[in-house]
């Protein structure tokens, strides 16, 4: 009987959740299982054994399409009812946040949101550490229900490769016709860029005056094979990128993060603060980002970035290996 | 159409500071206000009411002392605010909030649409709208950027990480909106004056909703064991001056000295 069950619609997040689940389960002598939900079952699911799963439970149904939260909840709740895990970890993507809360409501279970660490007490009670107040603090909770659920943001835990092959078991779970109809499905452009894996991030904020200047950020990033990312309003108000960094966006742990015109609100900083070194460029010497950075340059980014790029090139400075 | 907007009197998380030595969260004096997301909830609810007729009622679970904080919300075009007196000590857990809101929505009766924010500014769990949908047994369109009523169905754009879906559900239904969904209106002086006559009705969970405060206390699935602030140590070295060439070379030197960069003599 599996102690820990993990689910995410994102393959990489499944591996990350398995990495941590495996580590804790080994200490406690528990089993680990992953859940796969979809229209049909891919061939290679046994490979999840190499990421820590003992078992992969699958539910296939023509109703499991378009991430419809109603049918995915039926399926996940059904799997949990059958497998009876102690703890269920769900990736804190938007679909994951919705179906975990719905599933928990049906099962009368608690959800620890934005969990960054967890353990089992000697009595088998789950304790979870969770981000609170936009990441200003961490609360430790005991989850009093069985099962206990926790949501975990992408890139919080590390995927760990090992030897092994998982047993794939198909479950027959009843899924109802949903009330929600999906009329149109539009993929976002450039979705799926893995900022989480980039060694260097150039992080653009509202201080960049115009999209024509994005080339400056791209040139700076290209010197280090890095990527350009942004704050929420740069994505949501200006639509320069499909995603953003921060509390409600992606979280990075780059070797070097250079912010350009970012004010330093906690909701943004929580997405970049796991970076090794942070450099902030902002024209306002009172900007909050300077207290969150290793090096701050008080300058107009549009003037400073070309000069910095020239200096890096002239001195052929590279990211240290 | 009867529309209910669920809003929250939230703690301003950006004002919570951490004592660097003790890692204690400094909560004293942190202000509370109707949240940023809630303005978008109210805008969505009121603009739907303007388009399709009916009334908008806001409900909230919070302390009675918040009563005066809903004047601006009322001025945006609400009929009333129902303030359900927080039955517990401190923050209410999302599982408990959903139960209380569901009961209040049932008591309001004949509700066609419930508008929520995707997530509260302070609690930040994303749990209340989906739990409320389950409790009311109504469909939910989450993370909505738009909303319209077409042929008796709610149609909206659902904004997920990698895609935007246009979806529809039958009414009555719930919708949870993202900040990007609209620009909240600013009430005029006249609207603000008129709002002074609008009611903030206070409900008690026991006498008005027939729930037991003791049961609700029992219901919260998470028990807080401890809390601490996150302290990240940064060098905080500031470079300033008019000579940008000198500043950029100074920055490169520092990054080389820290072994973040290499080469670059
Ligand atoms: C519940 C909630 C969740 C949120 N989640 C996120 C999230 O995940 N990610 C996120 O980013 N935000 C999030 N936010 C929003 C967040 O609070 C801030 O509003 C946002 O991060 C600000 O973005 P910014 O720093 O790019 O813009 P601003 O705050 O507008 O800052 C722009 C900065 O640029 C500087 N500047 C201006 N001109 C120049 C110039 N020429 N050269 C150099 N500097 C210049 C200014 O001094 C200023 O400091 C969230 C908010 C809430 C309430």
Does A252 contact ligand 1 (Cβ within 6 A)?
A: no
HSE of A239, CA atoms in CB hemisphere, 13 A: 3
The pLDDT of residue A155: 87
Does A250 contact ligand 1 (Cβ within 6 A)?
A: no
Give B221's contacts in chain A (Cβ within 8 Å).
104, 108-111, 143-145, 148
Contact yes or no for B162 and A183 at CB 8 A = no
Tokens (6 digits) for B64: 């009675």
Taking all residues of chain B, what is their mean pLDDT, rounded to a whole number?
Answer: 95
Contact yes or no for A312 and B249 at CB 8 A = no
What confidence tens digit (pLDDT) does each residue in B63-121 have?
Answer: 999 999 999 999 999 999 999 999 888 889 999 999 999 999 999 999 999 999 999 99
Compute the CA torsion angle A9, B175, B164, A196 (nearest 10 deg): -50
Question: Could you tell me the distance, in angstroms and rounded to a whole number, from the CA of residue A289 to the centre of ligand 1?
Answer: 10
What confidence tens digit (pLDDT) does each residue in A282-301 have?
Answer: 999 999 999 999 999 999 99
Give A67's contacts in chain B (Cβ within 8 Å).
160, 165
Strands (E) in chain A, as ranges, are 2-7, 31-38, 55-60, 87-91, 111-112, 115-120, 126-132, 137-143, 148-152, 167-170, 181-187, 200-204, 227-230, 256-260, 277-282, 295-298, 317-319
Q: How far apart are CA B260 and CA A257, in angstroms?
A: 11
User: A161 with A52: CB under 8 angstroms?
Assistant: no
What confidence tens digit (pLDDT) does each residue in A219-236 have?
Answer: 999 999 999 999 999 998
Taking all residues of chain A, what is their mean pLDDT, rounded to a whole number?
Answer: 95
The pLDDT of residue A197: 87
Contact yes or no for A106 and B134 at CB 8 A = yes
Question: Could you tell me the distance, in angstroms and rounded to a whole number, from the CA of residue A129 to the centre of ligand 1?
Answer: 27
What confidence tens digit (pLDDT) does each residue in A51-107 have?
Answer: 999 999 999 999 999 999 999 999 999 999 999 999 999 999 999 999 999 999 999
What confidence tens digit (pLDDT) does each residue in B114-161 have?
Answer: 999 999 999 999 999 999 999 999 999 999 999 999 999 999 999 998
Residues of chain A above pLDDT 90, percent: 92
pLDDT confidence tier of residue B162, bands split at 50, 70 and 90: confident
pLDDT reading at B259 higher than 60: yes
Tokens (6 digits) for A205: 């904020």
Complex confidence, ipTM: 0.94
Give B244's contacts in chain A (Cβ within 8 Å).
299, 303-304, 307
Q: How far apart are CA A301 and CA B156, in angstroms?
A: 39
Contact yes or no for B225 and A294 at CB 8 A = no
For the entire predicted model, the pTM comes to 0.93
The pLDDT of residue A192: 59
Contact yes or no for B248 and A95 at CB 8 A = no
Nearest CA to ligand 1 atom 50: A267
Q: How far apart are CA A209 and CA A215, in angstroms?
A: 12
What confidence tens digit (pLDDT) does each residue in A118-175 have?
Answer: 999 988 999 999 999 989 999 999 999 999 999 999 989 999 999 999 999 999 999 9
């Amino acid at each position: 009987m599996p102690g820990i069950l993990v689910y995410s619609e994102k393959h990489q997040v499944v591996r990350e959740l398995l990495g941590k689940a495996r580590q804790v389960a080994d200490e406690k002598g528990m089993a680990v299982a992953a859940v796969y939900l979809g229209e049909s079952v891919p061939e290679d699911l046994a490979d999840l054994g190499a990421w820590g799963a003992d078992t992969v439970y699958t539910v296939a149904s023509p109703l499991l399409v378009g991430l419809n939260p109603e049918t995915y909840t039926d399926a996940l709740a059904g799997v949990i009812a059958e497998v009876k895990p102690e703890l269920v970890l769900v990736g804190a993507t938007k679909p994951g946040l919705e179906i975990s809360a719905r599933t928990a409501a049906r099962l009368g279970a608690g959800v620890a949101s934005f969990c960054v660490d967890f353990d089992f007490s000697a009595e088998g009670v789950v304790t979870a550490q969770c981000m609170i107040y936009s990441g200003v603090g961490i609360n430790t909770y005991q989850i009093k229900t069985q099962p206990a659920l926790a949501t975990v943001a992408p890139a919080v835990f590390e995927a760990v490769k090992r030897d092994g092959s998982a047993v794939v078991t198909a479950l027959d779970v009843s899924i109802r016709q949903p009330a929600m109809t999906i009329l149109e499905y539009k993929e976002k452009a450039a979705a799926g860029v893995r900022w989480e894996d980039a060694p260097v991030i150039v992080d653009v904020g509202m201080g960049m005056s115009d999209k024509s200047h994005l080339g400056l950020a791209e040139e700076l990033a290209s010197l280090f094979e890095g990527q350009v990312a942004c704050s929420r309003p740069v994505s949501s108000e200006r639509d320069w990128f499909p995603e953003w960094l921060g509390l409600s966006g992606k979280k990075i742990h780059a070797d070097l993060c250079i912010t350009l015109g970012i004010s330093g609100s906690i909701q943004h900083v929580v997405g970049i603060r796991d970076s090794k070194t942070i450099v902030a460029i902002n024209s306002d010497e009172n900007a909050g980002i300077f207290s969150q950075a290793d090096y701050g340059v008080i300058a107009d980014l549009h003037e400073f970035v070309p000069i910095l790029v020239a200096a890096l090139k002239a001195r052929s400075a590279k990211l240290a290996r | 159409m009867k529309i209910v907007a669920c809003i929250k009197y939230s703690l301003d998380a950006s004002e919570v500071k951490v004592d660097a030595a003790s890692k204690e969260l400094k909560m004293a004096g942190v202000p509370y206000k109707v949240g940023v997301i809630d303005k978008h909830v109210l805008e969505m609810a009121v603009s739907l009411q303007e388009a399709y007729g009916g009334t908008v009622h806001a409900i909230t679970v919070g302390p009675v002392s918040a009563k005066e904080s809903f004047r601006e919300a009322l001025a945006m075009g609400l009929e009333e605010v129902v303030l359900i007196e927080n039955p517990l000590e401190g923050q209410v857990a999302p599982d408990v909030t959903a139960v209380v809101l569901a009961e209040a929505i049932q008591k309001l009766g004949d509700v066609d649409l419930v508008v929520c924010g995707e997530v509260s500014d302070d609690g930040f769990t994303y749990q209340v709208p989906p739990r409320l949908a389950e409790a009311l047994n109504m469909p939910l369109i989450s993370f909505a950027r738009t909303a319209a009523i077409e042929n008796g169905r709610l149609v909206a754009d659902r904004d997920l990480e990698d895609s935007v879906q246009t979806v529809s559900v039958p009414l009555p239904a719930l919708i949870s909106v993202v900040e990007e969904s609209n620009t909240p209106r600013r009430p005029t002086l006249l609207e603000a004056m008129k709002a002074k006559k609008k009611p903030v009705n206070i409900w008690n969970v026991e006498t008005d909703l027939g729930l037991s405060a003791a049961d609700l206390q029992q219901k919260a699935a998470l028990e807080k064991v401890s809390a601490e602030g996150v302290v990240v140590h940064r060098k905080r070295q500031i470079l300033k001056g008019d000579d940008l060439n000198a500043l950029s070379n100074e920055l490169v030197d520092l990054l080389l000295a820290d072994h973040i960069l290499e080469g670059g003599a």
